Amino acid sequence: MITHRIQIEKKVLNENQRIAADLRRRFEESGTLVLNLISSPGSGKTSLLECTLACLPRSTRVAVLTGDIQTENDAQRLQRFGFLVKQITTGGTCHLDARMIERAIASWDLDDLDLLFIENVGNLVCPSSYDLGEAAKIVILSVTEGEDKPLKYPSIFFKSELMVLNKVDLLPYVPFSVAVAVENAKRTHPGIEVILTSCTTDYGLNGWLHWLDSRVTTARNSQAVLV
C-alpha cells in the first residue's frame, strides 16, 4: 500500500485561535484591557472581583463576563456594583473558549469599555489551553491550596503574567509558606509578577488596583497609537 504525507503544521485549536486573534484585534482597537482570571474553584476569583468593583471609580467603564458550569450566582453577586455583568453558563464544559466570549459580547459596543474581566470556570488545567483574546492571564492562588500548585499545574502559571496570592489573612492558621509559593511560581515562570491580597481585610488591594490602573492606561495609550 502506498501512502503519502500531507504537512499540516496547524494548531489543533486553530479555530479557537482564529476567533481569539479577531477578538484581540477588536479589544486593541477599542483600547479595552481584557484580563482572563483563572484559578481553582473557591480560591476567590469572585470575591476579588467584588472588592475590585467596589473600589473602582464609577467613571471606569468596566464589564465582567463570568463563567460557570451551572447557576447565575456569580453574576448576581457582581451585579449590585452597577457595572455591566453577564453570566456564561457552559452547561458542563470545564473552560471558556473564544466563541463563547464572541457570542457574549456580540451586542456590546467595545468603545464604551475600558476594562473587561473574564472570570473563567474554576479549573487550573483546561482554561490554560484556550486563548480568549485577552491581554493577560492572571492566575489566582489561595493560601489554603498548598504552595506546590505552580509545580503541579505549570501550564497556567507559565502563561500568566500575574499571580494573585489570595486569602493571606488566613496565613496564621494554615501551614503555607509565601516564600516557597512565590519561589515555585518563579521557577515555573521566572517573569511572573506576584501580588498578595486578602478580600476580607483588604490587604494588598491597593497594589492590585495600582497594577490594574497602569495596565488600563497602557491599553488606552496603545489604542491612541493604533488610531
Q: Please say which residue, 94 or 170, places its beta carbon nearer to another protein.
A: 94
Give residues 108-167 in contact with another protein (rule: CB under 8 A): 125-126, 128-129, 151, 153-156, 158-159
* 91 near another protein, rule: CB under 8 A: no
- How many residues touch another protein under the rule CB under 8 A: the total is 33
- Beta-carbon contacts of 197 under 8 Å, excluding residues fewer than 6 positions away, are 48, 51, 164, 165, 166, 168, 203, 204, 205, 207, 208
Q: Are 123 and 41 in contact (CB under 8 A)?
A: yes
Q: What is the CA radius of gyration of the chain?
A: 18
* 12 near another protein, rule: CB under 8 A: yes
* 37 near another protein, rule: CB under 8 A: no
Please, what's the largest Cα pairwise distance for the chain? 70
Q: Are 38 and 136 in contact (CB under 8 A)?
A: no
Place of cell 491599553: 219
Q: Give the amino acid at 224.
A: A
* 6 near another protein, rule: CB under 8 A: yes
Q: Please say which residue, 2 or 225, places its beta carbon nearer to another protein.
A: 2
Among 148, 187, 201, 222, binds another protein (CB under 8 A): 187
List contacts with another protein (CB under 8 A): 1-15, 93-95, 125-126, 128-129, 151, 153-156, 158-159, 184, 187-188, 190
